[in-house]
């Protein structure tokens, strides 16, 4: 009988045998050919794809070679070829990926019988255009799908032809009316979706050229004035919203001039379009624009920004009414559950323990380990703590993870820096695992230094938790002296790295930022000169020590420029100090940081700051071994140069 230890060792050997020779010349050549195959398919070059696929007959991941070979000629592939692929690789993630591709092709060909057969088998079902085809198929059979379509059709820049066809189908069979189309037209303006605006106007038998001009050349469209028909009025509203993105003043002047020709409802819609653009500037006039829009149906972004501007004004009644009027799917998000609770407290003048509906709202999300869950938890009188870890994982529990073929393929892809494919395979391998197995998979990721997958995998557990997996602190031998020398809060720095790179050392952003702290080359060069680091070269940003040295020094400089506010410095680190100075300049007195963060104009930066500060609270709890207050960490933010005496005179009470 084989002993347990020998079996474990054997399993680990088997798990890595296929990929243990990545440095061999033959393996490198095959990997290069695979990458060229992938690129050829992306470039829609079928002959080149076949050339490289023919060189990979013995590749370590044959399913992907066959996938790319088939995908390169999917439009001409027979149903039997595709079904044969499904059968050969049944259960693999790549089957679901090909089914996604095939469903799009079936929808394009209007082969609804095959589409309807295959759609229930699409496991991830994460493609908006496939969902549009599915609703179109049902609508053509006479099913009522208008409500589902309205909930789905919220971002026109991702519609493509499938969702455009769904809108046309619903309009033609009277499930959508002209108001639905007008709403989609206004939404196209919000999203700069010229093609979608043109298609909507075509359905309404309106002037397509004017629709294109309203989105692309709003100054010209507004200068030409508003036409006589209802659709031309809606086109003009789109043009006003687009113009407001560059000049609020010109847009408001044009609207005031056109007001006599517009119905009261159209005026409200136009003011809502201008109010949304003005919200991004945080200008004081924005409040008036939102008041003038009262009665207009609001898009998702409009509803959220109306609430955010009311938050900045401390207008809790408007915050409450705006949230209650949101669509159920939006209203049920943790963001707006939390702010509805806060609005009820603000409306009633409560400054301590909430009660009634507010308390119920906070309790409903207080078990979530995210920014809003932490804030809600504190509103119920509790602090952020680290749950006790369960029993340590044994190697016997980790060994099956090492033998999992999905994780094996993921490791191969990660070694080739194909993070999309690697992440997809990894996540596919998590399907069906229980919580203990999730922790084992996370530990396997740690052993292979794939910390982003460790974090993501561990975060999926609810009962059995390991916060050392969720909030790792690698390279502490470098980080501790760096932060100690600068007097930086190590928990905050780790919280920032977790959000920036998920500890992927070779992470590269689209903008060119590199490494753990995602330092831009120009920033790295500037900081290196400031601290006297000689012979700086861009590739040094991939070195852990150099990246942490430059990143922490830059963060410390930003923190100093932001008067020691971690909230402001975090926002500046992401969006740039210049933008942050602009946003901060809108303040006339101290503001609760939760409100300031909620109204950051850039969604990326807004999300970034929430996550970094939430992370920092957990890291502090881990490092210090005691409960933490996220609210105290956030505190308030103040205008530049605002004195402590002035702050006391405002009688500001941070909540």
Q: Which positions are annotated as active-site residues?
A: 500
Q: What backbone torsions phi and psi does residue 450 show, to the nearest 5 degrees?
A: -110, 75
How many H-runs (helices) and E-runs (strands) does the chain carry?
40, 2
Write out the DSSP string of 494-532.
Answer: HHHHHHHTTT-TT-B-TT--BTTTTB-HHHHHHHHHHHT
Judged by DSSP in three states, 185 sits in helix
Judged by DSSP in three states, 208 sits in helix
Q: What share of the chain is helix, strand, coil (3-state, %, to 5)?
A: 65, 0, 30
* N-terminal to C-terminal alpha carbon distance within the chain: 65
Judged by DSSP in three states, 209 sits in helix
Cβ neighbours of 5 (radius 10 Å): 10
Q: What backbone torsions phi and psi does residue 276 show, to the nearest 5 degrees?
A: -65, -45
Q: Which residues contact 18 (CB under 8 A, 6 or more apart)?
A: 60, 408, 412
Per the CB < 8 A criterion, the answer to whether 336 and 576 are in contact is no
**Angle at the Cα of 12 (from 8 to 17), degrees rounded to 5?**
145
Of the candidates 452, 544, 566, 430, the one whose C-alpha atom is nearest the C-alpha of residue 498 is 452
Of the candidates 610, 591, 5, 629, the one whose C-alpha atom is nearest the C-alpha of residue 313 is 591
d(CA 435, CA 442): 11
* Residue carrying structure tokens 């696929």: 53
d(CA 543, CA 531): 17
3-state secondary structure 545-569: HHHHHHHHHHHHHHHHHCCCCHHHH
**Angle at the Cα of 343 (from 287 to 496), degrees rounded to 5?**
85
Q: Which residues contact 641 (CB under 8 A, 6 or more apart)?
A: none
As beta bridge partners, residue 636 has 592
Q: Which two tokens stand for residue 373?
A: 């869950």
Q: Which two tokens stand for residue 222?
A: 């507004």
CA 356 from chain centre, in angstroms, equals 33
d(CA 367, CA 328): 21
Q: Which two tokens stand for residue 64?
A: 């992907």
Per the CB < 8 A criterion, the answer to whether 385 and 58 are in contact is no
Q: Within a 13 Å sphere around the CA of 102, how many CA atoms are in the beta-carbon half? A: 26
Judged by DSSP in three states, 67 sits in helix
Per the CB < 8 A criterion, the answer to whether 497 and 517 are in contact is yes
Q: Which residues contact 510 (CB under 8 A, 6 or more apart)?
A: none
């Amino acid at each position: 009988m084989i002993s347990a230890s020998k079996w474990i060792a054997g399993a680990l050997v088997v798990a890595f045998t296929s990929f243990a020779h990545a440095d061999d010349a033959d393996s490198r050549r095959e990997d290069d050919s695979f990458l060229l195959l992938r690129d050829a398919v992306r470039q829609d070059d079928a002959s080149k794809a076949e050339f490289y696929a023919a060189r990979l007959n013995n590749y370590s991941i044959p399913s992907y070679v066959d996938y790319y070979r088939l995908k390169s000629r999917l439009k001409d592939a027979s149903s039997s070829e595709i079904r044969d692929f499904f059968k050969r690789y049944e259960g693999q993630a790549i089957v679901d990926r090909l089914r996604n591709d095939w469903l799009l092709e079936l929808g394009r060909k209007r082969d609804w019988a095959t589409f309807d057969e295959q759609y229930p088998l699409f496991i991830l079902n994460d493609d908006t255009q496939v969902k549009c085809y599915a609703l179109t198929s049902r609508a053509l059979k006479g099913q009522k799908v208008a409500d589902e379509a309205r909930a789905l059709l919220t971002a026109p820049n991702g519609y493509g032809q499938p969702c455009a066809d769904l809108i046309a189908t619903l309009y033609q069979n009277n499930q959508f009316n002209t108001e639905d189309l007008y709403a989609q037209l206004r939404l196209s303006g919000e999203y700069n979706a010229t093609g979608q605006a043109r298609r909507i106007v075509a359905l309404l038998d309106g002037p397509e050229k004017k629709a294109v001009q309203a989105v692309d050349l709003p100054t010209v469209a507004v200068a030409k004035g508003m036409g006589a028909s209802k659709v031309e009025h809606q086109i003009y509203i789109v043009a006003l919203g687009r113009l407001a993105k560059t000049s609020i003043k010109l847009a408001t002047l044009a609207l005031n001039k056109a007001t006599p020709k517009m119905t009261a409802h159209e005026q409200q819609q136009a003011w809502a379009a201008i109010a949304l653009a003005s919200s991004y500037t945080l200008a004081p006039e924005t409040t008036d624009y939102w008041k003038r829009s009262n009665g207009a149906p609001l898009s998702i972004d409009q509803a959220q920004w109306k609430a955010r501007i009311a938050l900045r004004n401390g207008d809790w009644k408007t915050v409450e009414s705006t949230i209650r009027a949101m669509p159920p799917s939006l209203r049920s998000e943790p963001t707006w559950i939390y702010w509805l609770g806060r609005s009820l407290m603000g409306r009633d003048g409560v400054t301590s323990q909430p009660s009634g509906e507010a308390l119920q709202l906070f309790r409903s999300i207080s078990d979530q380990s995210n920014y809003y869950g932490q804030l809600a938890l504190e509103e119920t009188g509790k602090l952020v703590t680290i749950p006790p870890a369960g029993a340590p994982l044994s190697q016997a529990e980790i060994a099956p993870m090492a033998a999992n073929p999905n994780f094996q393929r993921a490791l191969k892809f990660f070694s080739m820096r194909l993070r999309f494919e690697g992440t997809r395979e990894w996540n596919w391998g998590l399907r069906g695992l229980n919580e203990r197995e999730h922790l084992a998979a996370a530990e396997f990721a740690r052993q292979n230094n794939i910390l982003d997958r460790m974090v993501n995998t561990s975060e999926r557990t609810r009962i059995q938790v390991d916060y050392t997996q969720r909030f790792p602190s690698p390279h502490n031998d470098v980080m501790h002296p760096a932060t100690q020398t600068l007097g930086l809060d190590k928990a905050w720095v780790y919280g920032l790295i977790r959000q920036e790179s998920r500890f992927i050392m070779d992470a590269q952003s689209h903008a060119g930022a590199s490494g753990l702290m995602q330092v831009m080359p120009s920033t790295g060069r500037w900081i290196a000169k400031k601290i006297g680091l000689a012979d700086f070269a861009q590739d040094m940003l991939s070195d852990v020590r150099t990246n942490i040295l430059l990143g922490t020094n830059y963060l410390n400089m930003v923190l100093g420029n932001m008067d020691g506010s971690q909230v402001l410095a975090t926002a500046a680190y992401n969006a740039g100090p210049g933008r942050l100075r602009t946003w901060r300049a809108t303040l006339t007195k101290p503001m609760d940081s939760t409100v300031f963060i909620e109204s950051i104009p850039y969604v990326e930066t807004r999300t970034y700051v929430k996550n970094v500060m939430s992370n920092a609270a957990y890291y502090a709890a881990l490092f210090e071994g005691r409960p933490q207050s996220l609210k105290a960490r956030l505190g308030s933010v103040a205008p530049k140069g605002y004195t402590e005496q002035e702050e006391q005179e405002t009688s500001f009470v941070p909540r």
